[in-house]
Amino acid sequence: MLSVENLSVSFVTRMGTNQAVDDISFTVQSGKITAIIGESGSGKSVACYSLLGLIPQPPGRIDGGRALFNGQDLLQLDTDELRKIRGRDIAMVFQDPMTCLNPYMTIGDQLMEPLRYHKKVSRAEARARALELLDEVGIRDPASTIDNYPHQFSGGMRQRVMIAMALINEPQLLIADEPTTALDVTIQAQILALLAALQKKRDIGVLLISHDLAVVADIADQIVVMQQGRIVETGDRDAIFRNAQHPYTQKLLQAIPRGGKPVALPVSEPLVTVRNLCTWFQSDKAPVKAVDDVSFDILRGEVLGLVGESGSGKSTIGRSLLRLVPVTSGTVHFDGIDVTALQARELKRLRRRMQFIFQDPFASLNPRMTVYDTLAEPLLLHDIETRSTVGAHVLRLMDDVGLARAAVRKYPHEFSGGQRQRIAIGRALATRPDFVVADEPVSALDVTIQAQILELMRELGREYGLTMLFISHDLAVVRQLADRIVVLHRGKVVEQANTEDLFARPQQAYTQQLLQSIPGRAVRTL
Amino acid sequence: MWRFIGFRVLQSIPVILVVITVTFFLVRLAPGGPFSAEKAVIPEVKAALEAQYGLNLPMFQQYLAYLGDLAHGDLGPSFKYPGRSVNELIAAGFPVTAELGLYALLVAIGIGGIAGVVASLRPNTAQDYIPMSVAMIGICVPSLLMGPILILVFGIYLEWLPVSGWGDIPGDKILPAITLGSTYAAYIARLSRAGMLEVMSQDYIRTARAKGLPEWQVVVRHALRGGMIPVVAFLGPAFAGLLSGSFVVETIFQIPGLGRFYVQAAFNRDYTMILGATVFLAVLIVVFNLLSDILAAWMNPRLRSQYGGGA
Amino acid sequence: MSAPLITDIAQAEQGTSLWRDAWLRLRRNRLAVLGLAVLCFFVLVALLTPWIAPYGYAQQNLELGATPPSAAHWLGTDIFGRDLLTQIMYGGRVSLAVGFIATAVALVIGVTWGAIAGYAGGKLDAAMMRLVDILYALPFMIFIVLLMVVFGRNMLLLFLAIGAVEWLTMARIMRSQVQSLRQQEFVEAAISLGLSPATIIRRHLVPNALGPIIVYTTLTIPSVMLLEAFLSFLGLGVQPPQTSWGLLISYGAESLEEYPWLLLYPGLALTLTLFSLNFLGDGLRDALDVRGAKD
């Protein structure tokens, strides 16, 4: 139905020409889901957007190729002709449902817009159709919510609205760009299932863009793998998963978290004891109970995984342990010392022994300090080194986290995301702490980089003899590192167990639901 | 929404009280009373005059009396024009100033808004540079310079338009309105360009394009509303600026408006007139700030529903 | 052991800091560079005026009267036969001084106020910002006119009054900067390292808040100068025997039909300065990537 041949797209900027898409060819068949996989910067989105004329030109430029859709070359159409196809024959669903709906219009108006514009139907008719579709995508009570504004819906609901909007003209092809990346795992599973069901029912073609092989594994028929603007491998799903040819595809497959940590549990006494911890935040009305009566232990030398969806309070717990947020009640004992009762001076001494690794490597480094300054700061502060000896120590840290020594005078913006996270890890380990809280340390990174950083953390954890609280929304990632897991839901502990036990025999309904939502089940059964 | 309006109205009351109080005591603290300045007045006459205006009472009592009068909308008598009240003077001058301000506001919103939107549609092209350069001139050539220059060019050299008065000769309202409006047209052009550029880079604009809507519909239906919110929020401060700007413009073009009265009252040390006019203008400005805030909030559905009621 | 490591550091590639990046970007913006050059020239002339002015400030020539520009008087003379160029140079000293000093007043008050409110948070922040809100709603232009009327036209008062208006926005900008920076993870990281609040403010907050403050300062100077010109034009600002550009413009406007140069040249001086500052401010905003500062 859609056949792309030798498409090349480049971006011309003052710094030079950047070949974003380099001579790629692929097809999308009617009634099938075709997935394009690639990491950020691989050109997957640019390729799809250029089909519909949705990349800004300039700086974007289509250098050549054809895109035959029902025998018509999309790349040759002028803007008006292309516009008649957009939203009618080919519709799109975007990544972030929080920003892709117009906040100033009711969802009903936005939903009816493509229908009213392309098919010139009456308002009443369009409204009736919109209500039907909202019902079909699983919006409860559409009649009373159709006149609401987007901010009144949750992320998952907005993505359902986006899907309804894309389908309202019954297009032949649906392009979905990372449709679940911004959503929680359980919601992600629901949206993927919904997409697959709607596609089956309508028998249309779907082009699914994703960075996550595991996500597409469950629903895609065809897989196209892109790297740095080129297609490195194409094939149907089973072939790709069973018998990937290209080394990059193999690397992506290996990066899918599978299986757990092989090491047996060290049996030891607790290093951190959390009892009845409550962290509430003041708001206009009732206090927000971000963490509500939580108790658990972290044993010396173990990695404890803390898992939950957004709003579960997992980050707040991590911050509470290190007194980065004020604790409302309860106690946190670290090596016998009650952290919640410490005065500023004692707390500073303790901070040398407990450190934090943050999620966003772009925000966690001071943009105006060099790597040298960033890494030297804790060493000087805690009198571990003097000004004259600190240089050697900084370079050793650079070696430890796998950064080139020559880059020590550079600033954070000159590094990639993965490299920045290495700097942040170096800073956290500089004082040789006993205990580290790692808050989603890999979720902002590309999958292959994720695997590298996880490997680094595993190695350094052993080398430095660390006890770690590993916080993540992603059970599959936690499974690779954690000895034990605590599952959180809305500020409360739902279940805690050894990692293997939790995966084999989840006790609570919520844990079961989380486990079933982990994408890529199809891969694991292959 | 009603809660928001109620909250903002309540917030304005202390502001207005502060304005009245500060103005009152400032004027009373001024060195030299109204009848001590120029001419030597016989002490008995002075005392009689002061008694007549209540100036012999303790300060605080005068203040309470003034508040009481204000509550009835009475701004008191004029010291300089015996027999005329401040209310009458304001009633004579304000309609002229209001008309001038209205035209200037129309100039500012009309020209500024259109220029800003047009510039934002093709950033970094001639369509952007030309209106924005003109806007920069509007910001850097203040009305006190713009007015005389316009008079020189259109009034004296070209002899197209009259250069003074208000409503006497046809066309004499054009130059003052342009002079007063030009600076704000420039600010609005910059604000609306920035607002539109911000909105046009949002994801939901891409969604609208992906629906196949033509570009003008994307702009009008999806971008304009969000892009204009900063402009609406600026209308309050712009109104305050227009009022004080009218002091200069009315002086340049010899327009018998409130601004000119105010400046004359300042020179004549007509304390009740200054006091009354300040209170009047200040309340007006506070009210307009309130209105533009409410309008800007109402345009944003999230704010509208956050404060309950409304949407 | 440590010797080779030290040379490693010495040999390490020098990184490009954000300041350097910004400077390179600013240098590419021709209008901003031009603005900076013009501004530097004007400031230099203002500083050297007593030595380089072609005539004495009070030197009159009543017989000569108003003459158009000539070789002896490059920009002409006014009705008292005073050299206009000299007048503009001395007026520039006052206008620029008002602009810079009042902005400095606003900068000091606003940055301190905003930083304290932003860092303290909670009730103190709420109280401090509520005061700013109330002051914000006051019609200050009218108050300044009133102040000038009531207390006479006093230069010191003028600086203070104008500074008192402009610090409010400065305080708001600084507070929002500090607030958003405080939530950044690198500040949390600094806290978790055990740094003291003073060190965090000095090393982590101030350097990152500087960009918007610089931009806003550059854009505040022209609006202060405008305010001075506005007051002087109405006769409520600078008083003779002192002069300023605003005052010169108001004299020029009175006799624009007969002696247009008396209006045009002071006007040109003011406009050029405003242009320079605005171009420089816009250039800095782009170079430092500051969003939403007065636009």
Asked if B114 reaches chain C (Cβ–Cβ under 8 Å), the answer is: no
CB contacts of A371 in chain C (<8 Å) are 15
Instruction: Dump pLDDT digits (tens) for A269-284.
Output: 889 999 999 998 876 6
Instruction: Dump pLDDT digits (tens) for C170-179.
Output: 888 888 888 8
**Size (chain B), residues:** 311
Closest chain B CA to residue C274:
B140
- CA pair distance A168, C289, nearest whole angstrom: 41
Token pair of A506 as six digits: 């989840």
The CA angle A207-A211-A213, to the nearest 5 degrees, is: 85
Across the A/C interface, how many CB contacts are shorter than 8 Å? 108
Asked whether the predicted pLDDT for residue B126 surpasses 90, the reply is no
Annotate chain B with three-state secondary structure.
Answer: CHHHHHHHHHHHHHHHHHHHHHHHHHHHHCCCCCCCCCCCCCHHHHHHHHHHCCCCCCHHHHHHHHHHHHHCCCCCECCCCCCCEHHHHHHHHHHHHHHHHHHHHHHHHHHHHHHHHHHHHCCCCHHHHHHHHHHHHHHHCCHHHHHHHHHHHHHHHCCCCCCCCCCCCCCCCHHHHHHHHHHHHHHHHHHHHHHHHHHHCCHHHHHHHHCCCCHHHHHHHHHHHHHHHHHHHHHHHHHHHHHHHHHHHHHHCCCCCHHHHHHHHHHHCCHHHHHHHHHHHHHHHHHHHHHHHHHHHHCCHHHHHHCCCCC
Asked if A419 reaches chain C (Cβ–Cβ under 8 Å), the answer is: no
Of A367, A369, A392, the CB nearest to C2: A392
Contact C146 B251 (CB under 8 A): no
- CA pair distance A95, A176, nearest whole angstrom: 8
CATH number of B92-268: 1.10.3720.10
What are the Cα distances from residue C189, in Å, to A95, A363, B185, B253, C91?
Answer: 30, 10, 46, 62, 52
Of C12, C17, C189, the CB nearest to A408: C12
Asked whether the predicted pLDDT for residue B33 surpasses 70, the reply is no
Q: How far from each other are the two terminal CA atoms of chain B, in whole angstroms? A: 8
Asked whether the predicted pLDDT for residue C6 surpasses 70, the reply is no
Q: Which one of B124, B144, B263 makes the best mutation probe of the C interface by having the most chain C beta carbons within 10 Å?
A: B144
A384-393, B111-120, B155-164: which has the minimum mean pLDDT? B155-164
- CA pair distance A487, A307, nearest whole angstrom: 5
Which residues are paired to A334 by β-bridges?
A272, A337
**What pLDDT was estimated at residue B103?**
93
Contact A389 C14 (CB under 8 A): no
Asked if C71 reaches chain A (Cβ–Cβ under 8 Å), the answer is: no
Asked whether the predicted pLDDT for residue B61 surpasses 70, the reply is yes
CB contacts of A378 in chain C (<8 Å) are 193-194
Q: Contact C288/C216 with Cβ under 8 angstroms?
A: no
Of C16, C195, C207, the CB nearest to A381: C195
**What pLDDT was estimated at residue C294?**
38
Nearest one of B236, B258, B260 to B248, comparing CA atoms: B260
Closest chain A CA to residue B225:
A104
Residue with the bigger pLDDT between A332 and A361: it is A332
Mean pLDDT score of chain B: 82
Would you call B299 exposed, middle or buried from its count of C-beta atoms within 10 A (0-12, 13-18, 19+)?
middle
Half-sphere exposure of B2 (CA within 13 A, CB side): 2
Q: Which one of C130, C144, C146 makes the best mutation probe of the B interface by having the most chain B beta carbons within 10 Å?
A: C146
Domain ranges (residues) in chain B: 92-268
Token pair of A399 as six digits: 């070696």
**What pLDDT was estimated at residue C2?**
44
pLDDT bucket at A264, cuts 50 / 70 / 90: low
Asked if A427 reaches chain C (Cβ–Cβ under 8 Å), the answer is: yes
- CA pair distance B216, B308, nearest whole angstrom: 34
Secondary structure (DSSP) of A345-414: HHHHHHHTTEEEE-S-TTTSS-TTS-HHHHHHHHHHHTTSS-TTTHHHHHHHHHHHTT--GGGTT--GGG
Across the B/C interface, how many CB contacts are shorter than 8 Å? 120
Asked if A316 reaches chain C (Cβ–Cβ under 8 Å), the answer is: no
Chains that touch C (3 or more CB pairs under 8 A): A, B
Of C246, C263, C295, the CB nearest to B190: C295
The structure tokens 């950064």 sit at: A403
- CA pair distance A461, B271, nearest whole angstrom: 78
| Total number of domains in chain A | 1
**What pLDDT was estimated at residue B39?**
52
Torsion, Cα C199 C202 C206 C207, to 10 degrees, reads -100
Token pair of A338 as six digits: 């009650």
Contact B204 A149 (CB under 8 A): no
The average pLDDT across A157-182 equals: 90
Q: Contact C77/C140 with Cβ under 8 angstroms?
A: no
CB contacts of C246 in chain B (<8 Å) are 144
A281-290, B254-263, C89-98: which has the minimum mean pLDDT? A281-290
User: What is the enclosing helix (H) or strand (E) of A275?
Assistant: strand A270-281
Contact A87 B212 (CB under 8 A): yes
CB contacts of A359 in chain C (<8 Å) are 185
Q: Which amino acid is at C253?
A: A
Of C236, C260, C295, the CB nearest to B266: C236
Of B145, B243, B263, the CB nearest to C249: B145
- CA pair distance B271, B79, nearest whole angstrom: 7
pLDDT bucket at B112, cuts 50 / 70 / 90: very high
Chains that touch A (3 or more CB pairs under 8 A): B, C
Instruction: Dump pLDDT digits (tens) for B155-202.
Output: 888 888 887 777 777 778 889 999 999 989 998 998 899 889 888 888
pLDDT bucket at B311, cuts 50 / 70 / 90: very low
Asked if B164 reaches chain A (Cβ–Cβ under 8 Å), the answer is: no
Nearest Cα of chain C lies from the Cα of A348 at a distance, in angstroms, of 5
The structure tokens 């205006």 sit at: B53
The average pLDDT across B96-125 equals: 90
Half-sphere exposure of B170 (CA within 13 A, CB side): 0
pTM: 0.81
pLDDT bucket at A260, cuts 50 / 70 / 90: low
The average pLDDT across A154-181 equals: 90
Instruction: Dump pLDDT digits (tens) for C232-264.
Output: 888 877 887 888 888 888 888 888 788 888 888
Nearest one of A31, A32, A63, A33 to A47, comparing CA atoms: A63
Nearest one of A248, A303, A242, A294 to A271, comparing CA atoms: A303
Asked whether the predicted pLDDT for residue B28 surpasses 90, the reply is no
Q: How far is CA A212 from the centre of its chain?
A: 9
Asked if C4 reaches chain A (Cβ–Cβ under 8 Å), the answer is: no
CB-CB neighbours of C25 under 10 Å = 16
Closest chain C CA to residue A391:
C6
Closest chain C CA to residue B13:
C134
**What pLDDT was estimated at residue B194?**
87
Nearest Cα of chain B lies from the Cα of C177 at a distance, in angstroms, of 20
In a domain, A210, yes or no: no
- A126: helix, strand or coil: helix
Residue with the bigger pLDDT between B297 and A194: it is A194
**What pLDDT was estimated at residue C167?**
87
CATH of the domain at A35: 3.40.50.300
CB-CB neighbours of B160 under 10 Å = 11
- For A42, the domain range is 1-86+220-256
* Fold of the domain built from segment(s) C38-294: MetI-like fold (1.10.3720)
Contact C150 B289 (CB under 8 A): no
Asked if A385 reaches chain C (Cβ–Cβ under 8 Å), the answer is: no
Token pair of B275 as six digits: 């006091």
- CA pair distance B86, B71, nearest whole angstrom: 15
CB contacts of A92 in chain B (<8 Å) are 207, 210
Nearest one of A416, A18, A411, A404 to C21, comparing CA atoms: A411
Nearest Cα of chain A lies from the Cα of B224 at a distance, in angstroms, of 10
In a domain, A235, yes or no: yes
Asked whether the predicted pLDDT for residue B138 surpasses 80, the reply is yes
- CA pair distance A215, A198, nearest whole angstrom: 17
Contact B152 C260 (CB under 8 A): yes
Nearest Cα of chain B lies from the Cα of A117 at a distance, in angstroms, of 7
Secondary structure (DSSP) of A414-460: GS-HHHHHHHHHHHHHTT--SEEEEESTTTTS-HHHHHHHHHHHHHH
**Size (chain A), residues:** 526
Mean pLDDT score of chain A: 87
| pLDDT above 70 coverage of chain C, percent | 89
Q: Which one of A366, A377, A400, A471 makes the best mutation probe of the C interface by having the most chain C beta carbons within 10 Å?
A: A366
Closest chain B CA to residue C294:
B191
Instruction: Dump pLDDT digits (tens) for A400-444.
Output: 998 988 888 888 888 888 899 999 999 999 999 999 999 998 888
CB-CB neighbours of A68 under 10 Å = 15
In a domain, A50, yes or no: yes
The average pLDDT across A84-90 equals: 89
**What pLDDT was estimated at residue B129?**
86
The structure tokens 């559409």 sit at: A142
| Sign of the dihedral through C-alpha B138, B142, B148, B152 | negative
Asked if C180 reaches chain A (Cβ–Cβ under 8 Å), the answer is: no
The average pLDDT across A177-199 equals: 87
Asked if B294 reaches chain C (Cβ–Cβ under 8 Å), the answer is: no
The average pLDDT across A278-299 equals: 85
Q: Contact A488/A495 with Cβ under 8 angstroms?
A: no
CB contacts of C194 in chain A (<8 Å) are 347-349, 351-352, 378, 381-382
Closest chain A CA to residue B299:
A104
Peptide bond into B237 cis (omega under 30): no
Of A354, A355, A411, the CB nearest to C16: A411
**What pLDDT was estimated at residue C1?**
42
Of B212, B300, B305, the CB nearest to A118: B212
The CA angle B164-B169-B172, to the nearest 5 degrees, is: 45
A322-331, A409-418, B105-114, C158-167: which has the minimum mean pLDDT? C158-167
**What pLDDT was estimated at residue C295?**
37
Closest chain A CA to residue C1:
A392
Contact A101 B207 (CB under 8 A): yes
Asked whether the predicted pLDDT for residue A305 surpasses 50, the reply is yes
- CA pair distance A4, A83, nearest whole angstrom: 19
Q: Contact A391/C6 with Cβ under 8 angstroms?
A: yes
CB contacts of A103 in chain B (<8 Å) are 204, 226, 300-302
CB contacts of B140 in chain C (<8 Å) are 222, 271, 274-275, 278
A280-294, A312-326, C4-18: which has the minimum mean pLDDT? C4-18
Contact C256 B19 (CB under 8 A): no
Nearest Cα of chain B lies from the Cα of A232 at a distance, in angstroms, of 28
pLDDT bucket at B70, cuts 50 / 70 / 90: confident
Nearest one of A5, A189, A181 to A100, comparing CA atoms: A181
